A and B are shown apart, each in its own frame.
Chain A
Amino acid sequence: MKPVYMIGGGITKFSKSSPQKDFRYMAKEAFDQAMADVPNLTLDMIDGSVVSYFSDHFTRQLMAGIMVQDYLGLTPKPSRRIESGGATGGMCIQSAWEAIASGRMDVCLAIGFETMSHVNTWKGNEFIALASDTNFDYPVGGFYTGYYAMMVKRHMYEFGTTERQLAAVSVKNHGNALHNPYAQFPAELTIEDVLNSEMIADPLKRLDICVMSDGAAAVILASEEMAYKLTDKPVRITGVGTGTDAMRLSDRPSRDVILLPHEKAEDYKDLKYPGVHSFRGGRVAAKEAYKMAGITNPLEDIDFVELHDAFTSSEIQTYEDLGLCKYGDGGKFVESGAASLGGKVPVNPSGGLLACGHPVGASGLMQGVFALWQLQGTIGQHFGGDDTLQIRNAKRGLIHSHAGTGTYITVSVMERGF
């Protein structure tokens, strides 16, 4: 495999709706910003693209991927569409990574979007719920917040996780986003604000859940030779991992915990795993990515994480999958401040999906863009001079993208290459 670098990134400001720009224009805006990051890169140097969006129902335009490719002026070069539910954006980056790692391309664009504003929120929830088994799950009351609510109920039962701990994730991420001009929903919240917000599916309340968004994001990947030729701040993708699990929440029989290098089987003697409380696919993705990147103790070896927090509960569950703490300790981890800005390993310094928004096909790419800027040390430059969210001397970051109840999960490790 050849080394792969990320050299540029761009993103639109995520919003509730963007009627002035369709998905092509939003993609173009993100693409132009990524190109502006790398002034020496011209259109003819791009060998091809991967375009991602989650839902044909939301877009109501089949083959929207090729329409992005042609709008950007990249036809007749190679392109493909990638879809993997909520993990679509993360998978898009990994697909572009494969194009470079295999030597097929020297420069590859990874770009994604979603336009969720075209239907009302409840129809949108119905569309999203179609990403659950339509024989057995969807007809019983298909609602993703309900599925995640059942997962965290069991997490609370097994480990004593509390609603206040969930709320702490919401307070942290919405608060971080106050300094991110691209975020859709920055807010200064208290634990009480979150606890008192409207109940959606017990125990998840309105402020525990991300919003629907329109938006696009793009990153440009390059081979080593092209990366160093084109930019003096290349970021290397040193590890990629992908995990999966059964579509139905019902189908998660108990097995042994999949251990990371710093863990021992005795740590989890009596734990039934994954049950419905943990995302086995996230653990598998982390394990593969850590092996490739040579990470043996994630808490020590990683400087920051941008992870898929469509729900506050999934952020807590994901700390554990990634091995930032032991299974069961996720609630205490956020309460300790370890995941806060200035903490041991800041998680979602951008504000995450909770506060930035979740235009599904763009969300994983958004993480790539913010992680790139963190590692380049250009957060202030990109955030209108506000560098509050810049993690000092960040050398290694992790991005994590996740689809419905943990069905597809990607983990990619990025490191400063200069």
Chain B
Amino acid sequence: MSEEKKVKSMKVEEKEVGATLYNLDPIIMKHHYEIDYIHSYAQDSPFFAGLSKGQILGSKCPKCGATYATPRGHCMDCGAKTEWMELPLEGTVHTYTTCYFGGEEFLDETPFTLIMVEWPGVETLFLSRLVGIAPEEVAIGMKVKAKFKRLSQFKPTDVYFVPTSE
């Protein structure tokens, strides 16, 4: 094989993938960035399993009695391992907002209403969405009722709330 032939074959293959030129002065490159991320709910898993069975599970500390509407594996007061506690499906709105914008992942869903749900005798709150009501009609103190998605996606949005019709 001649020297010349060998050199000719040594050429980088050029494909249009990855970063592309976005601007010339200064030179700015733009690249797409997406990943599959493996996220474990770990000790919180029973909560998500509970949603698929139509239950909202909070936590209770067997040692000091502290109660948590959003579960936590260990008590933030005394450090003991908590136990699971089923919450009533009806609660009240502690506070709320309607989001007309959001992070990119949720932009398609705007406007959506967020509420913090409060239960009597439970010391902390639970973040969820409220549907089936105009934003201007939502009020602190109103009674709301949990509903569950039929096809569980194992996300906290498997449960959402609607106004209690009385």
Contacts and interface: CB of A to CB of B under 8 A. Distances in A.
B76 A246 contact: yes
A248 B26 CA distance: 41
Contact of A250 (B100, B109, B112, B124): B124
B126 A250 contact: yes
Interface stretch (B5-13, B79-87, B127-135, B143-151): B127-135
Question: Which of B104, B116, B127, B140 counts the most chain A CB atoms within 10 A?
Answer: B127
Question: Which of B44, B97, B124, B129 counts the most chain A CB atoms within 10 A?
Answer: B97
B106 A142 contact: yes
B101 A200 contact: yes
Nearest to B70: A250
A276 B83 CA distance: 25
Interface string B40-78: 010010000000000000000000001011101000100
Given A19-B23, A134-B39, A276-B125, A251 B72 contact: yes
A312 to B, nearest CB: 15
Contacts of A276: 94-95, 116, 125
Interface string A151-176: 10110010000000000000000000
Contacts of A60: 33
B84 to A, nearest CB: 15
Contacts of A126: 103-105
B81 to A, nearest CB: 17
Contact of A151 (B44, B95, B105, B127): B95
A246 to B, nearest CB: 7
Contact of A149 (B97, B107, B126, B128): B97
Contact of B76 (A137, A141, A251): A251
Given A135-B44, A141-B109, A202 B97 contact: yes
B72 A145 contact: no
Contacts of B33: 60
Nearest to A123: B104
A254 B123 contact: yes
Contacts of B101: 122, 125, 143, 145, 200-201
Interface residues of B, number: 44
A125 B70 contact: no
Contact of B41 (A127, A135, A141, A251): A135
A142 B157 CA distance: 12
Nearest to A60: B33
A120 interface: yes
B114 A154 contact: no
B156 A136 contact: yes
Nearest to B106: A141
A149 B103 CA distance: 15
Interface in A196-246: 198-204, 246
A253 interface: yes
B152 interface: no
A150 interface: yes
Nearest to B28: A19
A153 B129 contact: no
A149 B127 CA distance: 13
A249 interface: yes
A401 B112 CA distance: 30
A254 B124 CA distance: 9
Nearest to B31: A60
A253 B124 CA distance: 5
B116 A201 contact: no
Nearest to A142: B103
Contacts of B88: none
Contacts of A246: 76
Given A140-B127, A153-B97, A251-B70, 14 more contacts: A19-B26, A19-B28, A136-B44, A140-B114, A140-B128, A140-B156, A143-B99, A146-B99, A149-B97, A157-B140, A199-B100, A200-B100, A203-B97, A251-B72
5 contacts: A126-B104, A143-B106, A150-B97, A202-B100, A248-B70
